Amino acid sequence: MHIAEGYLPPLHAAAWTVVAAPFVVHGARAVVKQVREDPDTKLLLGAAGAFAFVLSALKIPSVTGSSSHPTGTGLGAILFRPPVMALLGTIVLVFQALLIAHGGITTLGANAFSMAIVGPWVAYAVFVLVRRLGGGLSVGVFLAASLADLATYSTTSVQLALAYPDATSGVLGSVVKFGTIFSVTQIPLAVCEGLLTVLIVRLLVKVSPDELRRLGVLRRPATTSAPQEV
Amino acid sequence: MPGLDTLAHTNPWRRRHPGEKALLALGLVGAAVALPPWPGALLVGLAASAILLGPLRLRPRQVVRAVRAPMAFVVVGSVPLLVAVGGDPLVRWAPEGLGAALALAGRATAALLCLVLFAASTPLADALPRLERLGVPPAVTEVAALVYRLLFLLLATAGTVREAQAGRLGFRTWRTTYRCVAGQAAAIFLGSFDRARRLEQGLALRGYTGSLRVQVDDRPLSVPFLVASAALVTAVVAAALVLA
């Protein structure tokens, strides 16, 4: 769920844009450099962006009986790295605003900060940490995707709380209010997204190990074939 | 498929320069956000609705469909303003927050209608190449244009895969549903990278130099439209400040 157009007061909208801008500009510079060195990267990045958009449009069943959409930030960060995701995520957010009116132009900075910056960085940090500690690919992917989903929505809750502090208990009380609605209810959905992402990565390891190796997700060949008898 | 994109390609302002529509819609968004919600949000909302239903010839049902999902966020996001945390009792209803909640919902609704005004009148394919003139690097606009062109194909692929899975009773239980959704995501991943590879090969055969520049229609900015847009935004701002 993105912060809707016009929801944030002007000062907050501008401040979040300023906070998100360096990350997005850094991502854009990384992309420009990458494209200059290898023009074919542009096509892969276009494919990655379109994949991120469609991934967030998939419906996953949730415990309440309704359906929800994955944020896709965890999988995106594992596959394409956080700096690239800062740019791709922002492009996807612009498209979501202009194609389905989710999010907005004035709230783009705030949404980019939670979905294209905090989410991917949390996912990547968790994934790398789990792998370094000797955790399996599935454990790393599950924790990365679930925690990225939770981190994204917790950031959104804090952004909303800062904009609309509680009259009695201030920002802290407001974090509790918005957090209850947007983060606590998100916990089962974060677990669902984690499980789904594990299933997706397992499938990709099976059917597309070359692409995963090209993206740097898999270092060694996924399956070692037995020596053939001659 | 996103209905707003279809509207953007078929509406009467389709051939207008995106800059004209951006001035009008983003000017109204700015007014909605910056003006005091009462009467600013009401005036902006009325102006945006009048344009959507008048010159853009959208049916009320189409506008409702476009704003339905984001309005859920606006409604849910306004509820915390009706609750107070802290004091005695710890959590209680706060009817005094009703004014603030209504003002917030009103402002967000008005701004949302302005966003729909731009989205329903301007195809992204028109707007993206022109972003270069605003200083966005060509590599970024070209990646964005590729995303735009690929995502419709991928959405169609995901829909087809879903239908095929449903035909094979893939959504019977939670377990099978999750397996199917993961299958959709994997199919899209493979499809997107396969398309990128085929594009690579096709472009290489045509002497790809690294530039994906497309021809952009030379559309002059209409001065009367720009003046009318600025006048409307100014009138809304003036009226809101006088009535406030």
Torsion angle of alpha carbons A170, A172, A174, A175, nearest 10°?
A: 160
pLDDT for residue A230:
41
Cβ contact B2–A106 (<8 Å): no
Low-confidence winner among A121-125, A199-203, A206-210, B231-235 (lowest mean pLDDT): A206-210
pLDDT for residue A215:
81
Measure in Å the smallest separation between the Cα of B195 and chain A Cα atoms.
8
Give me A63's structure tokens.
Answer: 């415990």
User: Measured between alpha carbons, how far is B228 from B148 in angstroms, rounded to an integer?
Assistant: 31
pLDDT in tens, A172-202: 999 998 998 888 888 888 998 999 999 999 9
Domain ranges in chain B are 3-122+218-243, 135-205
Measured between CB atoms, which of A6, A42, A99 is closest to B33? A6
Measured between CB atoms, which of B33, B74, B144 is closest to A106? B33
User: Measured between alpha carbons, how far is A93 from B211 in angstroms, rounded to an integer?
Assistant: 25
| Residue A228 pLDDT > 60 | no
pLDDT in tens, A61-75: 766 556 678 888 899
Angle between helices B138-167 and B174-205 (to 10 degrees): 140
C-alpha distances in Å from residue B239, one per residue of A15, B26, B47, B175, B244: 28, 18, 12, 58, 8
C-alpha distances in Å from residue B48, one per residue of A109, B70, B167, B206: 24, 17, 43, 46
The size of the A-B interface in CB pairs under 8 A is 252
pLDDT in tens, B171-191: 999 899 999 999 999 999 998
User: Measured between alpha carbons, how far is B157 from A228 in angstroms, rounded to an integer?
Assistant: 38
pLDDT in tens, A12-67: 999 999 999 999 999 999 988 888 888 878 888 899 999 999 988 888 876 655 66
Mean pLDDT of chain A: 88
Mean pLDDT of chain B: 91
Residue with the two structure tokens 């209504």 = B102
pLDDT for residue A68:
78
Cβ contact B81–A36 (<8 Å): no
DSSP string of B5-34, one letter each residue: HHHHHHSTTTTS-HHHHHHHHHHHHHHHHH
Angle between helices A10-37 and B18-34 (to 10 degrees): 140
pLDDT in tens, B101-114: 999 999 999 999 99
User: Measured between alpha carbons, how far is A150 from A145 in angstroms, rounded to an integer?
Assistant: 9
Count of other CB atoms within 10 angstroms of residue B135: 6
pLDDT in tens, B206-243: 888 878 777 888 888 999 999 999 999 999 999 999 98
Residues B54-62: what's their mean pLDDT? 95
| Residue B196 pLDDT > 80 | yes
Confidence class for position A229, pLDDT limits 50, 70, 90: very low
Measured between CB atoms, which of A6, A39, A95 is closest to B111? A6
pLDDT for residue A223:
52
Stretch (H or E) spanning A54 = helix A41-55
Contact B111, A6 (CB under 8 A): yes
pLDDT for residue B216:
81
User: Measured between alpha carbons, how far is B105 from B99 in angstroms, rounded to an integer?
Assistant: 10
Chain A residue nearest residue B204, CA to CA: A40
User: Measured between alpha carbons, how far is A12 from A16 in angstroms, rounded to an integer?
Assistant: 6
Measured between CB atoms, does B142 come within 8 Å of chain A?
yes
pLDDT for residue B214:
78
pLDDT in tens, B63-101: 999 999 899 989 998 988 998 888 778 888 888 889 999
Complete domains list, chain A, with CATH: 10-214 (1.10.1760.20)
Confidence class for position A86, pLDDT limits 50, 70, 90: very high
| Residue B62 pLDDT > 50 | yes
Low-confidence winner among A45-59, A163-177, A212-226, B8-22 (lowest mean pLDDT): A212-226
